[in-house]
Amino acid sequence: MQVFPMTRAGLTGLAILFLVGCDDAAVGQKGFEAKYAVARTALEEGNYEAAKRHYLKLVPQAGPLAQRLQLEYAHAALRSNDFGKAAAVTSSLANTQTGEARSAALAVYGTAKHEMGMIALGQGDTASGKAHLTAAKGALAEVVKKHPDMDPIGSLTGRLASIKAQLKAL
């Protein structure tokens, strides 16, 4: 997962809110910004359960940033080993977005599905494991192909190679 592009996009979105807001909305925006900072700090410091709670409260009031905050929520879910929730949220996001936003959602989705596949295989459920790994392969392959800049150190490429090897062995 790449935190810096996520942070940059989140901060850009917040800046846009400030630029288009009116004076009456400024107080609400400052409150929103403060709440976002709490959620983001919790995520970055590894307090994933708190991050998830804060993001869930923010999404309904996020307006044009709602999808961005859902992605950050999914990132927290992924990091807290709530792979099913991370996959569900990012599957929905990926289906409604294009470009880098879609790829960011697919990166989380593919990672979550990979982990779900490994868990299923570890429990002896080969059919579910293979289905999860196949979904992960498709998602990560799209990210790596369409937005290789989202994988500067090769972690997604490495995960993808591992998934392909796992599928071949099944």
The residue to which tokens 């994933």 are assigned: 48
**Residue-averaged pLDDT of the chain:** 87
Q: What residue ranges do the domains of the chain occupy?
A: 1-80, 83-170
Residue 146 has pLDDT above 80, yes or no: yes
The tokens for 28 are: 């609400």
CA 97, chain centre distance (Å): 13
Q: Residue 32: its pLDDT value, please?
A: 87
Q: 3-class DSSP state for residue 13?
A: helix
pLDDT, tens digit, 9 for 90 and up, residues 4-51: 444 444 444 444 344 334 333 443 567 888 899 999 999 999 999 999
What is the enclosing helix (H) or strand (E) of 134?
helix 126-146
- Written as six digits, the tokens of 96 are 């409604």
Residue 105's pLDDT band, with cuts at 50, 70 and 90, is very high
pTM: 0.82
Q: How far apart are CA 19 and CA 12, in angstroms?
A: 11
Per-residue pLDDT, 20: 38
